[in-house]
Structure 1
């Protein structure tokens, strides 16, 4: 659902120029095979306003089974998403060889599910798109809105098997029972936070208050949740984050 912005934190959404810190430094962190992640600390000018916003709108957060996010989410609306897209095109375009924006979505999320509640696909890493068409690109973003590093940052993974074999695994687990998933993964329900028989953990970036990550949406990644018992559903103490998804046309070479 799209929010009705009627509280004191709404100016953050309604005034794009107030959203982002113009002095934030972009760090380019290599991952593997030429892939990298952009890390931006002190990303938002008023991050606490977004936490306050989440607290006021807590009843509007919903679980969406279609995208397999292990928790609840809320759509941040078109104006907020366009502000993120504008920042991306003005500040990060060269890193992704982006020429023209094609679409953007932005939501706020809280990771809340405990391991026994996880769908089989939620026990693995994921990617936001399997691939992109020639000349097109997909980027993903996450902004940590919590100050408890023990809730977990983000890890990036590399498949151990071919594209077809990896696709087959994900297809099988999409409709598998918990027991079949346990047998397939040779593990009890848990968030993926280390290498397993199908994926190698290549790099972990620690969560930090008001830290943003931007990376290619086709890279396998997962929240680095090793202590799920710490997960809560109160925005003030939860693993609260902004999530952005951007599509763009690449520069021609």
Structure 2
């Protein structure tokens, strides 16, 4: 699955926002697109997260291989001692801007309400060749933590009209700075590129051309995503 000759680099907007980039991550990336196409009908949307599309859970064996690479690449540098749990999925962004819910109008974090002794990390592997389908954006909050927490909470509770009226945010994929968040970093997509990052960072998919989104894995914005729950390193 993994390419032993993959190259690793670090993209850094500041000490608090670093992304580890693994290029040529898979030995046979085309097979994953074929696999996704073969199981196209099994992709489904989920109410458990704010992902603006459809997903397909992957076997534990795939997640374990991702975790092995995570451990070799950046787990300790993210302040983690060991991985407690990991899961992975294939995913396709499919929604048009007018179909998005308020929680999909803003960036998000992958923290899963963890206790203080734990931390989270995530990964995205781009399995498409057209760069117009977009990479990943990272943001810094511009407001106090309590205000941002209320914004995030309300994005999952209020109707689109009420959320827009209260916060001045309208439907669409977030790409730029706003009154609430400063755009800090864009990692562009590349075929067979994998990125790792701290799940506590605010981020979202960069969707510059939503008209190109497609539910066909061979043509759409197909990614392989990993999520890691870790024991935080003491000190």
> What TM-score comes out, normalization by structure 2 length?
0.94
Q: Determine the C-alpha separation between the residues in 2 that align with 1:181 and 1:229.
A: 25
Bigger proportion of residues as strand: 2
Q: Please state how far the C-alpha of 1:35 moved relative to its aligned partner.
A: 2.6
Work out the CA distance in 2 between the residues paired with 1:78 and 1:226. Answer: 33
Of stretches 180-189 and 80-89 in structure 1, the one that deviates more from structure 2 is 180-189
Matches within 5 A, 1:109-148: 109-129=91-111, 132-148=114-130
Aligned residues: 235
Structure 1: give runs of 5+ residues left out of the alignment. 1-18
Partner of 2:80: 98
Q: For 1:148 and 1:115, how far apart are their aligned partners in 2?
A: 20
Query: 1:120 touches 1:177 (CA, 8 Å); kept in 2?
Result: yes
Separation in 2 of the partners of 1:114 and 1:95?
37
Query: 1:69 corresponds to which residue?
Result: 51
CA drift at 1:132: 4.8
Tell me, yes or no, if structure 1 residue 206 matches structure 2 residue 201: no
- 1:178-224 C-alpha deviation (Å, 9 max, x unpaired): 22233344354110011112111111111111111100000000111
CA deviation map 1:5-34 (0-9, x unaligned): xxxxxxxxxxxxxx1111112111112353
Q: State the distance in 2 between where 1:157 and 1:206 align.
A: 15
Contact 1:185–1:197 (Cα < 8 Å) also in 2:
no
Deviation at 1:130, TM superposition (A): 6.8
1:16 maps to: none
Residue 131 of structure 1 contacts residue 218 of structure 1 at CA under 8 Å; is this kept in 2?
Answer: no
Q: TM-score normalized by structure 1?
A: 0.88
5+ residue gaps in structure 2? none
- 2:38 is aligned, of 39, 43, 56, to 56
Match of 1:168 in 2: 150
Q: What is the rounded CA distance, in whole Å, between the counterparts of 1:177 and 1:34 in structure 2? A: 33
Q: What is the rounded CA distance, in whole Å, between the counterparts of 2:144 and 2:11 in structure 1?
A: 26
Tell whether 2:39 aligns with 1:22: no
Comparing 62-71 and 178-187, the one that deviates more: 178-187
Flag as ranges the 4+ runs of structure 1 deviating above 6 A.
Answer: none
